[in-house]
């Protein structure tokens, strides 16, 4: 790989990370604007960030910095397992909290109308990104497996 290709790959990677950061801020803006202490902010950032990054790598794997580094792809495959389990544990904690305490426990300062508008947003946004992250992690595992197979048998990514 020459310098121009390496620079292009790292430029694509930086654009992807910037896009992920901006999208995370836009998605979490309604929550952070209205709720002072959202107990699942880190989990929410995790779900959104991992989902966006893995989807980007799924479709743009040939243009990623690890496209031709087989040991790193194998390591990332192994990393998909704890990634999946951690995401599942965080999603389970969120569901247990809303079933036991309810979302109103940290939205007590909002009016009833404010709570009624925020509750479905928080519930659906967290559920969507958690499930999407879980599914993407599984698909990414197999995408890496196929990529390793292609590299060894066909010489492509």
Task: Classify residue 61 by its DSSP letter.
Answer: G
3 pLDDT tier (thresholds 50, 70, 90): low
Torsion, CA 45, CA 48, CA 49, CA 53, rounded to 10: 170
Neighbours of 138 (CB within 10 A): 12
Whole-angstrom CA distances from 24 to 6, 17, 27, 36, 97 are 27, 10, 5, 18, 23
At 4 the pLDDT is: 60
Neighbours of 148 (CB within 10 A): 16
**Can you tell me the mean pLDDT for 8-14?**
89
Q: Is the pLDDT of residue 8 over 90?
A: no
Render pLDDT for 90-137 as a digit per residue (tens, 0 to 9).
Answer: 999 999 999 998 777 777 776 767 667 788 888 999 999 999 999 999
Higher pLDDT, 88 or 115: 88
């Amino acid at each position: 790989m020459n310098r121009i290709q390496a620079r292009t790959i790292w430029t694509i990677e930086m654009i992807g990370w910037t896009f992920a950061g901006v999208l995370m801020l836009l998605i979490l803006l309604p929550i952070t604007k209205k709720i002072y202490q959202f107990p699942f902010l880190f989990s929410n950032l995790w779900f959104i960030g991992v989902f966006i990054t893995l989807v980007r790598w799924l479709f743009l794997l040939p243009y990623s910095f690890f496209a031709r580094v087989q040991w790193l792809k194998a390591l990332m495959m192994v990393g998909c397992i704890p990634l999946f389990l951690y995401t599942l544990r965080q999603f389970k904690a969120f569901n247990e909290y809303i079933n036991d305490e309810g979302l109103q426990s940290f939205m007590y300062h909002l009016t009833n109308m404010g709570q009624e508008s925020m509750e479905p947003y928080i519930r659906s946004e967290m559920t969507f990104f958690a499930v999407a992250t879980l599914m993407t992690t599984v698909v990414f595992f197999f995408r890496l497996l196929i990529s390793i197979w292609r590299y060894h048998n066909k010489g492509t990514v």
